[in-house]
């Protein structure tokens, strides 16, 4: 007889494993199917974690190279041991993927390693690497299969010289010239890693700005700072092909609206023009789960168009972020268990882990204008923040947008030191529907970077106090 469960989750990334943990905690008999050897999905294996490990190490390398001497610290000749840096990254990944496996045991989740496919109502077929298949049964099936790299026609990824983020996290040596296609979050994070380690980085971006989803003021400041660091941008241009030669690659570009063909040489090309939902071979048609034009599975409170089939994380709508997938996972398990479950995407923060970091939550100024919503804005530069001055990290600013009438915070945008940690305060403020005056009247320790948040909030009120 087939193994039977309350819930079967297909995909062991942040969406799937958090859904499994919560389902286990709520007493549901839960199975998790993952086709990778390790749990943790894109995020732990080839995404958030390895990229942040390399961002951290490369930032320290650059700090030692360019800034230690200014602080009176001498370290002798700087050397890069890339293999060791990669090994340390791998150990961070292993520690966390092992941790997820432990959490599955702790929460009594049965893990099946193999490819899962829906095989009719309440049935999931799992095929192991050896080709052996078994069919499991459940009242509820959760799709948590995540996303994959969006391919670029004419540019074939081989993960050696023409790489996706996965290959860019595993390069065997520092490329002399790296071309990045797409000035989005992966392009700027992984472009930063290799630039710090010695690559000449050129970023080709289709639109006329970097980080197009971010608030305009932040995106403009980011471009200037990256240029100052030595990144070259080719904006409003598209890559039409990459020719592979024995000695290197030739990247052919033209203007975004056509014409003006140009080319340049590169040793490695990184393709990062976005990610698309991954639902290949999932048997969606066996139960009638619909997808939209871009392949996403639409949902209504995580329910798909098929009875008993749910969807969470990158495979469905909303920001393609690990913490969003986690929140979806927990809320979905709660709904399956008959409890209330809800995720507020407006208060989901978004962080780019470059130097300086860039973080945002809520609406951008451009979005509010598009909505015709009346708002007030407050902005405060780190140049005027005492802690930023003491650590000589004065680039950037905090910007807060609040409703013109009610003063409710509608969006917050930070570019500057530790922006990724600081945005949590504003995400919490938005979750509690705080006003900018609430933040402005909250005591913030001195001297801290977070005082810049308070000052920006005071700026909305028109009573900024610091210099
Ligand atoms: P995934 O993590 O993609 O997990 C899906 C899992 O399902 C995979 O393990 C896959 O093998 C498995 N699977 C798919 N199909 C099947 C099947 N048929 N049977 C069995 N298993 C299957 N987000 C952040 O918030 N912060 C970051 O710093 C960050 N950095 C990133 C850096 C990079 C380079 C990349 C590529 C992404 C990054 N992300 C980051 C995004 C983040 O990784 C994703 O949003 C997140 O992993 C989505 O979680 P998920 O559970 O929906 O899917
Ligand atoms: P992205 O959507 O962030 O950026 C893609 C960029 O490529 C955009 O600027 C877009 O205009 C540009 N582009 C699209 N087609 C192009 C073309 N043909 N030529 C040139 N430019 C083109 O996508 P990215 O960087 O691939 O990352 C995918 C997703 O992974 C992110 O959207 C995010 O959800 C997630 N991620 C999150 C991270 C974080 O939270 N720190 C880190 C890395 C990834």
Q: What is the pLDDT of residues 42-67, one digit of tens each?
A: 999 999 999 999 999 999 999 999 99
Q: Whose CA is nearest to atom 7 of ligand 1?
A: 11
Domain termination site, one of 343, 363, 379: 343
| Domain-embedded: residue 157 | no
Partners of residue 252 on adjacent β-strands: 241, 263
Q: Is the pLDDT of residue 467 over 70?
A: no
- For ligand 2, the distance from its centroid to the CA atom of residue 425, given in whole angstroms, is 26
Please list the alpha-helical segments (H only) found in 67-213: 82-106, 165-168, 185-196
Kindly state the average pLDDT of the residues 113-131: 97
Predicted confidence (pLDDT) per residue in 4-40, tens digit: 999 999 999 999 999 999 999 999 999 999 999 999 9
Q: Is residue 156 part of a domain?
A: no
Q: Which of 67, 301, 392, 446 is catalytic?
A: 446
- Burial letters 366-400, b for 16+ CB under 10 A, else e: eebeeeeeebbbbbbbbebbebbeeeebbbbbbbb
For position 173, what pLDDT does the model report? Answer: 98
Structural domain includes residue 437: yes
pLDDT recorded at residue 466: 60
Dihedral pair phi/psi, residue 238, rounded to 5°: -130, 150
User: At residue 1, does pLDDT exceed 90?
Assistant: no
CATH of the domain at 207: 3.50.50.60
Domain extent for 62: 3-149+276-343
Integer Cα distance of 12 and 29 in angstroms: 16
Same domain, yes or no: 331 and 368: no
Report d(CA 357, CA 351) in Å as an integer.
7
Tokens of 304: 């798909």
Mutate to test the pocket of ligand 2, among 205, 218, 274 (most ligand atoms within 8 A of CB): 274
- Verify that 167 and 234 share a domain, yes or no: yes
Residues 199, 101: one domain? no
Pocket of ligand 2 (CB under 6 A): 152, 181-187, 189, 204-207, 212, 238-239, 272-275, 320-321, 351-353
User: Where is the domain boundary, 312, 343, 374?
Assistant: 343
The answer to the question of residue 231 being in a domain is yes
pLDDT at 407: 98
Residue 242: inside a domain = yes
Q: Are residues 119 and 85 in the same domain?
A: yes
Q: Are 416 and 351 within 8 A, CB to CB?
A: no
Q: Report pLDDT for 70.
A: 94
Confidence of residue 115 (pLDDT cuts 50, 70, 90): very high
Same domain, 222 and 263: yes
What distance in Å separates the CA atoms of residue 63 and residue 192, rounded to the nearest whole number? 13
Same domain, 140 and 14: yes
- The chain-wide mean pLDDT, for the chain, equals 97
Mean pLDDT of 388-413: 98
294 and 416 co-located in one domain: no
- 65 and 172 both lie in a single domain: no
* pLDDT tens-digit readout, 402-425: 999 999 999 999 999 999 999 999
* 152 Cα to the center of ligand 1, angstroms: 20
CATH number for 437:
3.30.390.30
Determine phi and psi for 114, rounding to 5 degrees: 165, 175
User: β-pairing, 4-10 with 133-143?
Assistant: parallel
Domain count, the chain: 3
H/E run at residue 18: helix 14-25
Residue list for the binding site for NAD(+) = 182-189, 205, 274
ipTM above threshold 0.95: yes
Out of 92, 145, 279, mutate this one to test ligand 1's pocket (max ligand atoms within 8 Å of CB): namely 145
| Residue list for the binding site for FAD | 52, 116, 145-147, 314, 320-323
In a domain, 261, yes or no: yes
What tokens appear for 126 in the block? 């799992």
Is residue 446 flagged as an active site residue?
yes
Instruction: Encode pLDDT of 61-83 as tens digits.
Output: 999 999 999 999 999 999 999 99
Q: Is the pLDDT of residue 344 over 80?
A: yes
The pLDDT tens digits for 128-149 are 999 999 999 999 999 999 999 9
Check pLDDT > 90 for residue 463.
no
Asked if residue 237 and residue 167 are part of one domain, the reply reads yes
- Residue 348 carries which DSSP code? -
Express each pLDDT in 186-211 by its tens digit: 999 999 999 999 999 999 999 999 99
41 pocket-lining for ligand 1 (C-beta < 6 Å):
yes
Return the percentage of the chain with pLDDT > 70, whole number.
99
Of the two residues 438 and 465, the one the predictor is more confident about is 438
Same-domain status, 143 and 281: yes
DSSP-derived secondary structure letter, 132: -
Ligand nearest to the CA of 350: 2
Q: What is the DSSP letter of 286?
A: G
For residues 306-326, average pLDDT: 98
Would you say residue 440 lies in a domain? yes
Q: Residue 400: name the closest of 373, 437, 371 by CA.
A: 437
> Order of strands across the sheet with 268-271?
162-163, 268-271, 177-181, 200-204, 232-234
Both 192 and 308 in a single domain?
no
pLDDT of residue 414: 98
Atom of ligand 1 nearest to the CA of 149: 36
Is the pLDDT at 2 greater than 90? The verdict is no
- Predicted structure pTM score: 0.97
pLDDT at 307 over 70: yes
Indicate whether 369 belongs to any domain: yes
Element spanning 140, H or E: strand 133-143
Contact 111, 101 (CB under 8 A): yes
Domain stop point among 299, 327, 343? 343
Residues 268, 285, single domain; the answer is no
């Amino acid at each position: 007889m087939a193994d039977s469960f309350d819930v079967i989750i297909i995909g062991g990334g942040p969406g799937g494993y958090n859904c499994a943990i919560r389902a286990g905690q709520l007493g549901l008999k839960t199975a998790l199917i993952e086709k990778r050897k390790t749990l943790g999905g894109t995020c732990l294996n080839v995404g958030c974690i390895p990229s942040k490990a390399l961002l951290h190490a490369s930032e320290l390398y650059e700090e030692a190279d360019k800034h230690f001497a200014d602080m009176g610290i001498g370290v002798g000749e700087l050397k890069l041991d890339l293999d060791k840096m990669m090994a340390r990254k791998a150990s961070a990944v292993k520690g966390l993927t092992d941790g997820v496996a432990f959490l599955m045991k702790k929460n009594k989740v049965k893990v099946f390693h193999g490819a899962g496919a829906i095989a009719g109502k309440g049935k999931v077929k799992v095929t192991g690497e050896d080709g052996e298949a078994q069919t499991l049964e459940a009242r509820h099936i959760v799709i948590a299969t995540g996303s994959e790299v969006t391919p670029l026609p004419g540019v074939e990824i081989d993960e050696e010289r023409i790489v996706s983020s996965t290959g860019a996290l595993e390069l065997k040596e520092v490329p002399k010239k790296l071309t990045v296609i797409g000035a989005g979050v992966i392009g700027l994070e992984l472009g930063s890693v290799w630039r710090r380690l010695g690559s000449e980085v050129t970023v080709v971006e289709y639109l006329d700005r970097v980080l197009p989803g971010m608030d305009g003021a932040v995106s403009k400041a980011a471009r200037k700072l990256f240029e100052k660091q030595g990144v070259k941008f080719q904006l409003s241009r598209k890559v039409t092909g990459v020719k592979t030669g024995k000695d290197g690659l030739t990247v052919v570009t033209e203007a975004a609206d056509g014409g003006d063909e140009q080319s340049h040489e590169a040793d490695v090309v990184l393709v990062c023009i976005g990610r698309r939902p991954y639902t290949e071979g999932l048997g969606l048609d066996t139960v009638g789960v619909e997808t939209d034009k871009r392949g996403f599975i639409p949902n209504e409170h995580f329910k798909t168009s098929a009875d008993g089939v749910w969807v969470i994380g990158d495979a469905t709508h909303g920001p393609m972020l690990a913490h969003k997938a986690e929140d979806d996972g927990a809320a979905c398990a709660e709904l399956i268990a008959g409890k209330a479950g809800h995720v507020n995407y407006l208060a989901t923060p978004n962080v780019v882990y470059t130097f300086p970091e860039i973080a945002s939550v809520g609406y951008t100024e451009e979005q509010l204008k598009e909505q015709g919503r009346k708002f007030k804005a407050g902005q405060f530069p780190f140049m005027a923040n005492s802690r930023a001055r003491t650590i000589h990290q004065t680039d950037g600013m905090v910007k807060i947008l609040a409703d013109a009438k009610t003063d409710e915070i509608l969006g917050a945008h930070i570019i500057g030191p530790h922006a990724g940690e600081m945005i949590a305060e504003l995400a919490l403020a938005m979750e509690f529907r705080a006003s900018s005056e609430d933040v402005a009247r909250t005591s913030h320790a001195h001297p801290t970077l977070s005082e810049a948040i308070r000052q920006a909030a005071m700026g909305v009120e028109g009573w900024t106090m610091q210099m």
